[in-house]
Homo-oligomer: A and B are copies of this chain.
Amino acid sequence: MMNLKEFSHRIGLSPTTVSRALNGYPEVSERTRRKVLESAERLGYTPNSRAARLATGRAMTIGHILPLSKEHEMVNPIFSDFIAGAGEQYSKSGYDLALSVVRDEDEEEAYRDLATRGVVDGVVIHGPKVEDPRIRLLGELGLPFVVHGRSSRVPGEYNWVDVNNRRAFSRATEFLLDLGHRRIGLINGLDGMDFATRRLNGYGDALAAHGIAGDPELVFNGEMTENYGFATTMQMLASRKPPTAILISSIIPAMGARRALHDLGIGLGDEVSVVIHDDDLSYFRNEGDVPIFTATRSSVREAGRLCADILLDAIRGAQDGRRHVLLEADLTVGQSTGPAPAMRHLLDRDRAEALRRPQSLT
């Protein structure tokens, strides 16, 4: 592996000149620069990043911390699409992406570690809680960051990119109310997550506007797995007062909900309506001439791109204050919603029988 000294010697220039040529400084003539670039290509010289990072004090790396949830050691399925979006932008700007996989409880320590070891120039905070301690921590550490989401109860300004979750869910709820639904279930994310709270609020807003009291038995919090969607749907439909419509926070539990409805022989879109929030995951597109699910959609990949742009600007000092982006998630009507049926139609024989089978909530 050739180093700068040898390379510059070979092409008859000093290391300084070569470094300047390579890094685009104006003190070097265009002719020289071209010559240097071309020779580097020809001789296969690439500057050693380790050395450059020490010399400049910049890590040229953005950190992401991927927590494994304690409950199921689960990776958030939206993570990979977010990373795909962000990573693309990093590459364009010559930044690398460092990923730390840590257990939930070690997460704060992991941020502190990244900061003090100096291996990243900035980090992205994923999945903020209603009152997330990481925001203050990073502020204290002086490490630039951007939050994917927000943290309602953390005061002060910071960079964030979020979906208008409250609006999206109030809109979705209203849509169902307009269709005549009065008992509407909500299969939400984990309790304490900021997005889950905002979605709950949106749902509550719409119900309240129609003078409907929310029923806590119709609201669920949990990690968004397929099985969670299945179990909660089963539980709701087995209750004495089943909903005629369900709001689901992600397409993955929606798969489980669909399975539950199917197992019970209940028609999706006619007997029970479902509206989902769709993160537009690349391997799970809710598409077609008429989408499968009626959904509020917001691309998580796009959010990744935006987060990256904001963070890179912050690092490069090209930013005056803090920046925010609030993405609207429009409602698209699909095949999974329809007018509320009269309740009695649901109580036919087949279904009553199906409900007699025991169900467990795993």
A127 contacts the other chain (CB 8 A): no
A259 contacts the other chain (CB 8 A): yes
Chain B contacts of A61 at CB under 8 A?
Answer: 98
A16 contacts the other chain (CB 8 A): no
Chain B contacts of A255 at CB under 8 A?
Answer: 255
Are B285 and A119 within 8 A (Cβ)?
no
Interface window among A19-27, A73-81, A194-202, A240-248: A73-81
> Whole-angstrom distance from the CB of A75 to the nearest CB of chain B?
4
Are A54 and B44 within 8 A (Cβ)?
no
How many A residues, CB 8 Å from partner? Answer: 62
Which residue of chain B has the shortest Cβ distance to A73 in the bound complex?
A: B282
Are A96 and B100 within 8 A (Cβ)?
yes
Name A219-256 residues within 8 Å CB distance of B.
223-227, 252, 255
> Whole-angstrom distance from the CB of A227 to the nearest CB of chain B?
6
Are B84 and A66 within 8 A (Cβ)?
yes
Are A97 and B99 within 8 A (Cβ)?
yes
Q: Which residues in A have some Cβ–Cβ distance to B below 8 Å?
A: 1, 44, 46-51, 53-54, 57, 59, 61, 66, 68, 72-77, 79-81, 83-84, 86-88, 90-91, 96-102, 113, 116-119, 223-227, 252, 255, 258-259, 262, 282-285, 287-288, 292, 360, 362
